[in-house]
Amino acid sequence: MAQDEKIRIGWLKGMYIYTIVGAGLSGLFMVILPKKMIALNNFAPQDPIMFGIVASVWLAFGILSIFGFRSPLKFIPVLLMQLFYKSIWVIGVIVPLWIQGNLSSSDIPTIVVMLTYIIGDLIAIPFPYFFSKNTVIASEEER
């Protein structure tokens, strides 16, 4: 099928692995050892409730990405959510801080990592397939 040729299963699986390792493990350690993660990553002291929300969301992305690795096309919404929230974060938080001159050099690694997720998701997500009215939930390769 011509539509299947546009689907990069390898890229999808790669983004799920990247999310499992990056977001999942970060979220897990942030939940288990929040003070250690704040110190290790040089994060500013912050509200433990908000830090816990971020940790829980990242851990949830990691767990859902385990399922996504097994069935890449069924779990595209996980990558879409990741793409949208990170893009909104860059546009709504980072760009204004950058314009105001309030970014520090210690922020750069976090920004770069988030941008790699955005770029990877843009490459991996088969937008025409996902938004097609005739999309079948699983391809033959996944069954």
How many angstroms separate the first and last alpha carbons of the chain? 16
Give the mean pLDDT of 59-79: 96
The number of folded domains in the chain is 1
| Axis crossing angle, helix 76-89 with helix 108-124, rounded to the nearest 10 | 140
Highest mean pLDDT among 31-45, 109-123, 125-139: 109-123
Residue 38's pLDDT is 72
Calculate the average pLDDT of the chain.
87
Helix or strand run (H / E) with residue 40: helix 34-40
**Coil/strand/helix, residue 21:** helix
Residue 7 pLDDT level (bands cut at 50, 70, 90): confident
Residue 33's pLDDT is 86
Range of the domain at 70: 2-142
